[in-house]
Structure 1
Amino acid sequence: MHYGQNLSSAMYVRADSAGEAFRFVPSVINDTVLTSEVFDTPNLKKYLERKLRAFFQPQMRMDGQVVGVEALARLWDDRLPGASKVAPVAYINRAGLLPFMTLALVEQVLDVSAGALMNCGQPLPVSINLQAEQLLDVSLLDAITRALEARGLVASGVTLEIVETGFHGDPDKLLRWLDSARAMGYRLSLDDFGTGESNFHRLVSYPVQEWKLAREIVNGVAACKIKAVLVRKLLEMGAELGLTTVVEGVDRMADLDWLCNAGYPDMVIQGYVVARPMPAGRLAGWLSGRMPAVTHD
C-alpha cells in the first residue's frame, strides 16, 4: 500500500544517512536497572540532581512523518560516555522523590521542545509518563503549566501518558484531574494497553485521546498468529473510537512490514526500527531534516 511504501522508503533513506537508528547493532545506551546503588533520601536527591537526564524516543506516523517524542528518565553514567541506566521509579517513589524527579524531567523535556520552537518555528510535541497516583496531586498540573508558560509553549503540545501500577487512590479525584488536564488542552494517553491495569475499564473511564499498545503484544506480531489477530482487532477498535493509536515495541523490520500492510495509515509507531532512546544532544542531530509534525489539536 502507498503509505506503507512511503514509510519503508523513508526509513531506508534514513538508514543510509543515520544507519545506527535502523541497524540492529549494540547500542551505546545501556538500559539496565539501577539495583546496587542505595542512598538515604538526601543523598538520593543530590544524586538525581547530578545524574538525571531526559532521553527521547521518536514516534513516527506510517507516512514517515515524525509526530513527537516520548521522554524517558535515565541516570547518566560517567564511567561510559553516552551510557545510561533506567531510573528506578519504584525505588525513587518509595523515597518520596517521584514528584521531584518528574518536575526535573519536565523542565529538561520542555527545554528541548522550546529549542525546537526557536530553531524550527514549531515546538516538538512531547509525551511525559505520569504514574496514576501522581494525578491525585493538583499542584503537579499547575507546576507543569507554569513551566510551559515560562517557555512560551502550549498544553496541546504535551501528551500525558497515564501509567498504572497498582493504583489504589480515589478514582473520582483522578477523573477530575484528567478532566481538568484535558480542558486545559493537554493530550491524554493510556499507556501500555494490554498489560497490568491498563485495560478496557480504564479506556472506558478515562477521557483519553490516545492509547499505546504495549510492547508485549506488539513485539513479534509478524510471527505470532494470536498477536496478529489481537493487534489487528485493537487497531480496528482504535480507528472506530477515533483514538490515536501508538504501537510500541516495533523493534523488527518484519513487524514493521506487517504493520505497514495492516491498513491503518494514521497509526504511530515507536521502537528500534525508528530509533533507540537518545539524549537531547543526539536528538537534535537526529531530527535535523526531519521536521516534527504540527502539534496535535
Structure 2
Amino acid sequence: MSHMNGSYDLRLVALSVFISVIASYTAFSLSGRITRTSGKTRFLWLAGGSFSMGTGIWSMHFIGMLAYQMPVPVGYDVRITLLSLLIAIVISGFALFMASGSRMVLRNLILAGTVMGTGIASMHYTGMMAMETGSSIRYDPFLFVLSILIAVLASVAALRMVSTLRVKEQDAHVKVKVLSALVMGFAIAGMHYTGMAAAVFPSGMARLPPNAPGSSWLAGTIGLSSFMILTIALILSLVDSHLASRTAGLVGSLKAANEKLHYLALHDGLTKLPNRTLLEDRVDQAIRHAGTTRASFPLLFLDIDRFKPVNDALGHHAGDRLLQEVARRLSSALNPDDTVSRIGGDEFVILLPNEGDPRTVHEKARTIRDAVSRTLEIDGQPVTVSASIGISVYPHDGPDFRTLLVNADSAMYHAKSKGAGNIQFYSAEMNESNSLRIEMENDLRRAIQNEEFTLYYQPKVMLKTGVVESVEALVRWNHPDRGVLLPELFIPLAEETGLIIPLGKWIIGQACQDAVAWQTEGFPSLRVAVNLSALQFVNQNLMEEILSALDLSGLAPECLELEITESFLMRDPEGAMRTLSDIRKKGVSIAIDDFGTGYSSFSYLKKFPLDHLKIDRSFITDICHNSHDAAIVRTIVTLGHSLNLKVIAEGVENAGQIDMLTAMGCDAYQGFFKTRPLPPQEMAEILKKERMTTKNAVDSEID
C-alpha cells in the first residue's frame, strides 16, 4: 500500500524542543521544593509540579505533531487529546514523586524509568490516535520499538539527573542544571520524533468530517499556554526557594540567639562564670551524689574586702575589670569538677564537690584567698584587695542549697567581723546575725502599714523624637533610721516573706494617682509602668487590685502598663497566657522586662499578648564595643518588631549607645542618659521643660 509523506515546520520543531527543555529545567527545580517540604505543602507542590511538567511534555508532543505538515487537513479528537494530556500529568507526577524520594538504587531507577518511559510513549501514541485522518495509521515495528526504548532510556537518565542534582542542590551551578535540562529535553524530543518517523500515513485518506476541529487553533494556544504555565511554576519554585533560604537564615540566627540567651540565663554577664541558677543545679547534683555515698562537701562564700572603695575611687569600669580578674584567678585555682559562681556584686560562691576533710577544705580556702589577694594592675595602677571566706558543709550545716548558702553567708560576715582576709567555718552561734534579718522584716511590715515608701520615676524616651512616651515607677523606702533605701535592699526580703503582695498593691495604687496628677497638669497621654513580682503575678486578687487602683484614681486603663520578667512567665506559660489575656482585655498594656536574662521559648513568646519588649541592660552596657552584644540586640529588635512589639532598651548611659540603638531601629530607651529616677514633683518639672522645648521648636519652624 502506498503512503503519504509530510514535511516539518522547523519553527514549530524548534518551539517543541524549547518547551521540552523548559519543562525539564522546571522538573529539576520542582523536585528540590517537593523534597524539602512535607504534609499538605508537599502535596500541593507535587500536584502543581505534575500539572506544569505534564503540560510541558504534552505540549512538546502536540506542537511536534502540529509541526508535521500533511498534504491534507488533519483534525483531532478532543476526548482522546485530553486523555493523552491526563497520561502526561500522571506520568509527570510519578516522576516527581520518585525523584523527590531518597536517592534511588539502580534496580529501582531502572524500574521507575521503565514505567515513566512507557507512560510517555503511551501519551505519545494516544495523542497520535487523536489524529482524524479518515484511515488508520500504521507504524514501522522497528522505529516503534526504538521510540519506546528511547523513552525508557531518557526517563532513566532524567530520573538519575534529577536525583543527583537534588542531592547536590546546594553545590549545583545553574550551568549544570541548564546542561542537564538540554540533555533531558533533547532526549524527550528524540523519542517524539522517532515515534513520528515510525508512523505510516496511507495515501488516499478520506476527507475530514464536516465538524472535525482543525489544527490552526492548537498551534499558538498550546505553545503560549504551556510556556506560561512552566514559567509560572518555575518562578514560584525560585521565589519559594529564596524565601526558604531567608527563613533558614533567620531560623539559624534565632537559634544562635536562643543558645546565647540560654547561656546568659545560666552565666554571669560580666565574668562569664555560672550564676546562681546554675550553681544551685550543681549543688543539687552534689547533694544527690553525696546521698548515695554518704559523703560531705563544702560550700564557700567569698566576698572581696575593700571592693567598694576601689570601685568608687577608680570608677565602675575599673571595678568591672577587678571582678573579671578575680573570676579568672578563682577559676585557675580550682579543679575541673569544682564550680565558682558569681551571685551578685563582689560575692562569689565556690562548690568543692570532692572535698570532705575540714583540713583539706581550709587549706583549699587559703589557696583561693591568696590567689585573690595578689596585687593586680588595672589601667596602669596597682590594686590590692583581699577576700573573706565563709564555709558551710553538707549535710552538717544544711540539707539543701538555700540553707547551705545562707549559713555560708553568715560565716562570711562573721569572718569579715574578725578582719579582712579571714576564713571561718559556719557554727550555730552565728545565727545571732539572723536577728538583724528579723528586725528588718519587722521594720518592713511597719513601713507598709505606715506607708513609708515613695515612688521615683524614670522616663522612657522615643529614640526618633526624643519625646517621653511613658515613665517607670521605682519604689524607695524612707527608713526612719537608715535613710532612703534602694529596692535591692528590701525587695528580696519582701518577696521571701510575701510582703511584696501588700507593697505591690500600694505601688500600683500610688502610681495611678501620680499619673492622674500629671494628667491634670497637661500630660493626658502619659503612661505609667509598674513592675510585677512573681508572687503578685500568681496572686488571685491581682485583677481586682488593678481594677480597684484604676477606679479609685480615675486613671484610664490605657495609661497603665505592667512590666513582667520573662523568667517567671516561662514557669507556667499556659497560666501566664491566661492571666495576661485577662489583663489585656481590660485595656492595660503588658511589657516583658529584662528580656534576654531568662530562657524564653519563641513558640510561647509569639503567643503571649504583649505590647512592649524591654532589652536587659546587660546587653546594652558594652554594645558599642562588643560585636556579640550588638548582634544579640539587633536580633531582639528584629524579633520584637516581627511580633509587632515596641522595643525599649534599658540602661542607656551615653550617646554612642543612643546612636547604635537608633541605627538598629530600636523604638525607645530608658536610662541615666536622660535622667536618674526622680520623685513625682521633679519628674513633672522635667516633663514641663520638655513640653516647653518642643513648643519653642515648633514655633521656630513656623516662624
Q: Into which bin does the TM-score normalised by the smaller protein fall?
A: 0.7 to 0.9
Deviations 1:31-87 (A, max 9, x none): x9xx96643755421123343211111000011110010111221256798x54225
Cα distance change on mapping 1:190 and 1:167 into 2, 3 Å: closer
| Residue in structure 1 matching 2:553, options 151, 154, 157 | 151
Task: Choose from 478, 490, 493 the match for 1:76.
Answer: 478
Identify the residue that residue 47 of structure 1 maps to in structure 2: 447
Q: 1:53 & 1:171 partners in 2: Cα distance?
A: 33
Distance (Å, rounded) in 2 between the aligned partners of 1:165 and 1:280: 30
1:59 is matched with which residue? 460
Aligned residue among 235, 249, 259 for 2:651: 249
Corresponding letter in the other structure for 1:260:
T
Cα 1:209–1:193 shift into 2, 3 Å = same
Task: Determine if contact 2:509/2:553 at 8 Å carries over to the other structure.
Answer: no
The one-letter amino acid paired with 1:176 is: R
2:680 corresponds to 1:280: yes
Verify the 8 A CA contact 1:112 1:124 in the aligned structure 2. no
| Greater helix content | 2
Any unmatched runs of 5+ in structure 1? 1-24, 27-31, 292-297
CA drift of 1:281 comes to 2.3
**Equivalent pair of 1:133/1:167 in contact (CA under 8 Å):** no
Q: Aligned residue for 2:502?
A: 100
Post-superposition CA distance 1:126-177 (Å, at most 9, x none): 1111123422223112111121122221111111111255578654332211
Provide the alpha-carbon RMSD of the alignment: 2.9
Preserved CA contact (<8 Å) 1:193 1:199: no
1:200 shift after superposition? 3.5
- Quick check: 2:500–2:535 contact (8 Å CA) kept in 1? no
Residue matched to 1:15: none
For the structure 1 residues 219 and 200, does the alpha-carbon distance in structure 2 shift closer, same or farther, using more than 3 Å as the test?
farther
Task: For residue 473 of structure 2, give the secondary structure of its aligned residue in structure 1.
Answer: strand
- AA of the residue aligned to 1:289: K
| Aligned equivalent of 2:612 | 210
Residue 636 of structure 2 aligns with which residue? 234
- Aligned counterparts of 1:65 and 1:54: Cα–Cα separation in 2: 22
Tell me if the contact between 2:513 and 2:555 (Cα under 8 Å) persists in the aligned partners.
no
- Counterpart of 1:17 in structure 2 is none
State whether residues 164 and 196 of structure 1, in contact with CA within 8 Å, keep that contact through their aligned partners in structure 2: yes
**More moved, 47-56 vs 100-109:** 47-56
Cα distance per residue 1:226-274 (max 9 Å; x no partner): 1111112222222222110011011122211222333x2x611001101
| Secondary structure in 2 matching 1:223 | coil
The whole-number CA distance in structure 1 between the counterparts of 2:599 and 2:492 is 16
2:533 to 131, 139, 162: 131
One-letter code aligned to 1:267: D
Mean Cα deviation higher: 216-225 or 137-146: 137-146
Residue number in structure 1 paired with 2:623: 221
Once the two structures are superposed, residues 99-144 of structure 1 have per-residue CA deviations (whole angstroms, 9 ceiling, x without a partner) of: 1010111122111100012111515301111123422223112111
Q: 1:140 aligns to what?
A: 542
Tell me the amino acid that sits aligned with residue 456 of structure 2.
F
SS in 2 for 1:60: strand
Show the counterpart of 2:376: none
Structure 1 or 2, whichever has the larger Rg, is: 2
What's 1:290 paired with? 690
Separation of aligned partners in 2, 1:244 and 1:72 = 21
SS in 1 for 2:593: strand
Residue 95 of structure 1 aligns to which amino acid in structure 2?
Answer: T
The verdict on how the C-alpha distance between 1:121 and 1:252 changes in structure 2, with shifts beyond 3 A counting, is closer
- Among 565, 573, 583, the alignment partner of 1:181 is 583
Unaligned regions of 5+ residues in structure 2, if any? 1-314, 317-344, 346-433, 692-703
- In structure 2, do the counterparts of structure 1 residues 54 and 258 end up closer, same or farther at CA, with 3 Å as the change threshold? same
When normalised by structure 1's length, the TM-score is: 0.77
Alignment of 1:254-265 (within 5 A): 254-262=656-664, 264=665
Instruction: Identify which of structures 1 and 2 has the higher relative contact order when contacts are C-alpha pairs closer than 8 Å and 6+ apart.
Output: 1
State the distance in 1 between where 2:639 and 2:540 align: 32
Quickly say closer, same or farther: Cα 1:253–1:78, change in 2 above 3 A: farther
Tell me the equivalent position of 1:269: 669
Partner of 1:18: none
From 163, 185, 188, the equivalent of 2:565 is: 163
Separation in 1 of the partners of 2:569 and 2:667?
29
Q: 1:171 to 1:237 in 2, by over 3 A?
A: closer
Amino acid at match of 1:47: A
Could you tell me which amino acid in structure 2 is paired with residue 254 of structure 1? G
Deviates more, 1:199-208 or 1:63-72: 199-208
Whether 1:122 aligns to 2:524 is yes
The letter for the 2-side match of 1:86 is P
Q: Which amino acid aligns with 2:454?
A: R
Q: Structure 1: which 4+ aligned runs deviate by more than 6 Å?
A: none
Shift of 1:202: 5.0
Q: Distance in 1 between matches of 2:616 and 2:658?
A: 15
- The DSSP-based 3-state class of the residue aligned with 1:196 is coil
Give the whole-Å Cα distance in 1 for the aligned partners of 2:570 and 2:617.
Answer: 25
SS at 2:672 equivalent:
coil
Structure 1 window deviating more from structure 2 (231-240 vs 187-196): it is 231-240
Give the whole-Å Cα distance in 1 for the aligned partners of 2:566 and 2:643.
22
- On the 8 A contact 1:77/1:85 being kept in 2, the answer is no
Structure 2 length-normalised TM: 0.34
CA 1:230/1:165 → structure 2, altered by over 3 Å: closer, same or farther?
closer
User: Contact 2:565/2:595 (CA < 8 Å) preserved in 1?
Assistant: no
User: Aligned residues, how many?
Assistant: 258
| 1:223 aligned partner, one-letter code | H
SS of equivalent to 1:257? helix
Distance 1:238 1:171, change over 3 A: closer
